[in-house]
Structures are given as C-alpha cells and as structure tokens.
Structure 1
Amino acid sequence: MPTPAEIARLSTAIAGVYRGSRDTIDLLMTAFLAGGHVLIEDIPGVGKTTLAKALAVSIGGSFRRLQCTPDLMPADVTGVSVYDERDRTFTFHPGPVFCDVLLADELNRTPPRTQAALLEALSEGQVTVEGSPRALSARFFCVATQNPLDHVGTYALPDSQRDRFLLAFRLGYPEIDAELDLLNHDGAEGGLARLQAVFDTPTVTRLRTLVRQVKLEDSVRRYLLDLVRATRQTKGLVQGASPRAGLGLQRAAQARAMMKGRDFVIPEDVQALGVAALSHRVSARAGQQADAIIHGLLESVPVPR
C-alpha cells in the first residue's frame, strides 16, 4: 500500500492552488483514484474550474473545458471526421472529450442528445464517432458541473446520467482566511502557472490497481449493503439507490481506505462517503432533501463493531 505521505503529494499540490476545503480535495481524489467521475452542484465562481485544472496539472495530464450550451451538438463533444479533397481521405478531429481531465461546465444546459454522447464516455471510456468506437485516455476523468439555483433554459439530467457519477458534492464558500489569501494572490491563475506534476501515468495506474485490491470484511460489506437497501425502504424517497450505487460506494470506500494507508475498508470509510455516493442516485419526495435523508440513514443503520 502507498503511504499517506505519497498520496498527500497530490492533495498538497492541489491545495496550493485551490483555496477551498481539504474535504473537497479528498472527495475529488477519491473519485479519481477509484476510476470514477464527479458531479459538482454549486453556484458559479467558487473554484470548480480551478479544482479541475489543478488536478490535471498535478498528474501531468491534459485539460479541456466543455462549455455546455443549448446549441451544443454531440460532435462538439466527441469530434468529427472531415473529408480532405486533396488527399481524398477522412481526417478525424478529436473533440474535447479526448483528454485526461474534462470539465463539462453547466452540463444541464445542453440537450439530452448531447448529454448522451458524454454518458457513453463516462460509462465505457470510449465514444462512438460515425459508427466506430474510439477509446479515451486511460486516465480520463470528468468533472461535470451544474448550478442548482438556476433552472431557466436547462435540461434536467436523467437518472441514468446522474447514476454514472461516482460522487456528487458541493464546494461551498471558502473560509475567510482562504478567501483573503485568494484576494492577496489576485486569483489562482498564477498558482496554476507555477504548479508542477507530482504524479505520472504509471503512478496513477498503479494506485488505481491497488484500490481494487483493498479488502472488505463481510461485516463491512453487509453494512454497506444495509445502507444501500435502506434507501429503498424509507418513506422520504420515491426511488432508492440501485445496485450500481452499492458498487460505486464500495469502490469509493476502497479508494478512501488506500488514501489513509490501509489495505482494508472500515465502516468510517463508508460513512464518510455515504452522502456523496448516494444522494444524487436517489429521488426525494416533494419537500424532502436527499442529503438529509442519507444523513439520517447513516445515523440509524447499525454499524458493525
């Protein structure tokens, strides 16, 4: 297992640029090392772009931003083949999805057909262009965003798409000292320019392999399952978490355990990720909040000793 100090190299690099909570950085790293993707639901201007860029630079990867708009077409995401009359051949021009870290900003502003093009990338690590599958980067990681307070001119993400994100969370406003530091440095661009890569591709591949080797005792796996199944029985939810949600929570818990220097999952790993892994995968009844319901289940479902 890698030591916490080795993992901390990545979180420290990101924290040198992103002035928000360390918990947010940990959630981002958990999803990345688990091989998943994240959905950030928050207002503009709280650091979503900086967070994604900092991760890309820290792993020595490429970064692309996809600004989602109502007129965005699937080809704008995946790319297109253009016919060259001189050579009489088609040349493929890759879209922004062909990168290591993709920021899909305001994903809910783009039509369902275009959302579906990204869905294939999230779930299969490839996109289909003109009938031919094209593999994405082995490190492909998507940070999708949407503003929960602005619903004008948006297309609600379907359950099938939300379910493809390993974790969903909010950034919130920074603490006063962090915000003052941001003002003193006139933003984060200077820090990004000075940021150096601390992980390379072999390191990311090795860590992701180690995540899958983290063990779960039967009692911990049963606790995780009890939590997932409890979402299907609570009256505050119209729809509970799917089996895929349980698999996602398990993989995220494995990643968190590895980040803590352990080769086994403990109940605290499951509890720390329960809200981020499950709240976006359930549907709350009118007047109910999914986050609050998941918090309640974490307090009521018996924890193994």
Structure 2
Amino acid sequence: MPQPNPWFSSPADAVDRLAASGYLADPATATTAYLAGALEKPLLVEGPAGVGKTELAKAVARVTGADLVRLQCYEGLDEARALYEWNYKKQLLSIQASAAAKQAANGGATSNGDLRDHEIFTDEFLLTRPLLTAIRREDPTVLLIDEVDKTDVEVEGLLLEVLSDFQVTIPELGTVAAVRRPFVVLTSNATRELSEAVKRRCLYLHLEYPDAEREREIVTSQVPDLEDRVAAQLVATIGKLRDLDLKKAPSIAESVDWARTLVALEIGELDDKAVTDTLGVVLKHASDQERAIKELRLKA
C-alpha cells in the first residue's frame, strides 16, 4: 500500500470520505483533519465528552485503511504502560535456562562471566505499548491518545519526545525513530489545561455539540428507519436535556442509541410517556433522570 501523504487529498475529500464512513464532519473538522495528514502534525481535539472526538480518529482509520492503535489515558498512567517495559519474568527464565545449559556443558561449573555474557535486553524481551507500537509500525497507522487530560503532568514529558520527533529513546537499545509517521489524534475533555509545549506541537480543533440540524442529519444517517418527525422531536428533546445542569449530558452516540430504541419499540410519537419510559438510554444517573422529569415537566 502506498504511503498516504497526505492522508486526504483535500478538505473536500476529507468531508466526502468521512461522510461515507458515517462521520459527518463540518468544514473546520475536515480542514484540520486534512492538514494533520498533509503536515504530519499531531491533532489535538478538545471539547466536552460525547461530541465525536474519539470517533474522528476511528473514522480516519476506517476511510484510509490504517490500523488504529489506542492509548487510553488515566490517572497513574506511566511509561511502562504507555511506551514499553521489559518482560522480567521471561528475562529471568532465559538467564536460568542459559545458566543451567552452561553448567551442564561445563560439568557442573559455571561463572559470573557466563551470566554477564547472556544478552537479555533485545527485542525478544521487549513488551511494546501503544506509543512504541505506533512508532515502529511500517504500515499506515492512526495513533489515538484518548483523554490525555486525565494523565499526570509528568506523562506530558514523555509525549513531547514522541510528538516532536516521532522517536523514543530506549537506554538499552538506543533511539527508535518512526519509519512512517502515524496520524496522531489526541483527545481532551478539558478537565485540566494541557502544557503549552504539548499544544505547540499540535494542530488544534475544538468540538462542541452540533446544532439541531446537524445532529438530526447524524441521527438519520445512522438510523435511516427513524421517521423525520420523530427525529426532529428527539433532537429537540436532546437539546433541552443538554441545557439542564446534569452530571453527564447526552452524547451524540446516545442520541443515536435513543433513535434505535424508538425504532425498535415502534414509537411514532415522542410524547412524555415515551421519553420517560426510555430516558435510561440517554441519561445514566438517577439524579439526572429525576432532574429531567422535573425540569421538563414530563408526565408518565
């Protein structure tokens, strides 16, 4: 497969191909996705949970035929889980097996020199994690660094080397540089401010919840059996729910799930009873459901 550089031939090409995979990108999203491939720069996508940040990376992988490598970030993530670690158990077993073989060959005698000569820091004992896996791959790869704002600040130092030169240094093996730069997407829910050093190395895209018309297009493209009138009612209700002070506002994916639920239940009118009966599809906290029923004055 020829190297996709750029991954998209133009912003319009990005719009068309992403749409064909089910991801409806607005002009800003399509342009930034195109530039991320053309300039070979990481793309930082920021916005509230559920607006399609992670799905953008998945869609790019689908339409370009690239493999998706995902690093799910969380508090406490360290280098061993993000980059690499040595398989210590395998190293120990290898040392023991080598020592036993040399002892048998030497008539029961062995020496510390024999053990020092045994090489255990090679690819055979290296456990690659997402960052190193993506860098070493020769095939087209989309590297998704998901919810980077959940990591500790120290992890950003690790990302800087990767995002700056697309290479990492392994003390025992040396520097490993990317043969083919991956398409990198970092997502952030903006729960904390990322360092300027990381931002400086990235293109930036901010995503918000789509307007009603765009969301209706997304829902009906994913659930074509949904009646237009019900789709309009659903999108209007989703908008009202997002205006409430909820623990977790409904995501676009949950809007689609709700549409599928209504089709499955053959609901042709999204009245108060239908909303109340199916509210658990879009609101996953009891307090949110109680607030929605109260604020929207829903009647069973």
User: Does the alignment pair 1:122 with 2:127?
Assistant: no
Judged with a 3 Å threshold, the aligned counterparts in structure 2 of structure 1 residues 92 and 108 are, in CA distance, closer, same or farther, namely same
Q: Label 1:38 to 1:182 Cα distance change in 2 as closer, same or farther (>3 A).
A: same
SS at match of 2:61: helix
Radius of gyration: which is bigger? 2
Change (3 A) 1:137 1:49: farther
Partner of 1:105: 146
Structural RMSD (CA): 2.5
* Structure 2 partner of 1:279: none
1:32 pairs, out of 19, 31, 37, with 37
Q: CA separation in 2, counterparts of 1:145 and 1:6? A: 24
| Letter matched to residue 14 of structure 1 | L
The match for 1:96 among 105, 130, 145 is 130
In 1, Cα distance between the equivalents of 2:179 and 2:59? 18
Task: Indicate conservation of the 8 Å contact 2:14/2:33, yes or no.
Answer: no
Superposed, 1:1-305 pairs within 5 Å as 6-7=9-10, 8-16=12-20, 17-83=22-88, 84=90, 85-88=92-95, 89-90=120-121, 91-97=125-131, 98-99=133-134, 100-131=141-172, 132-136=174-178, 138-148=180-190, 150-151=191-192, 156-165=193-202, 167-184=203-220, 186=222
Say if 1:57 and 1:137 are closer, same or farther in 2 by CA, change over 3 A. farther
Deviation at 1:6, TM superposition (A): 4.9
Helix, strand or coil at the partner of 2:74: coil
- Deviation of the 1:10 alpha carbon: 4.3
**CA positional deviation for 1:48:** 0.8
User: Which stretch shifts more, 170-179 or 28-37?
Assistant: 170-179
Letter aligned with residue 135 of structure 1: A
Q: Name the structure 2 match of 1:295.
A: none
Partner SS, residue 127 of structure 2: strand
- TM-score normalised over the length of structure 1: 0.52
* Letter paired with 2:145: A
Letter in 2 for 1:24: T
Overall identity of the aligned pairs, in %: 30
How many equivalent pairs are there?
Answer: 178
Structure 2: how far apart are the matches of 1:52 and 1:45? 14
Could you tell me how far apart the structure 2 residues matched to 1:147 and 1:26 are?
21
Which residue of structure 2 aligns with residue 280 of structure 1?
Answer: none
Gaps of 5+ in 1: 188-305
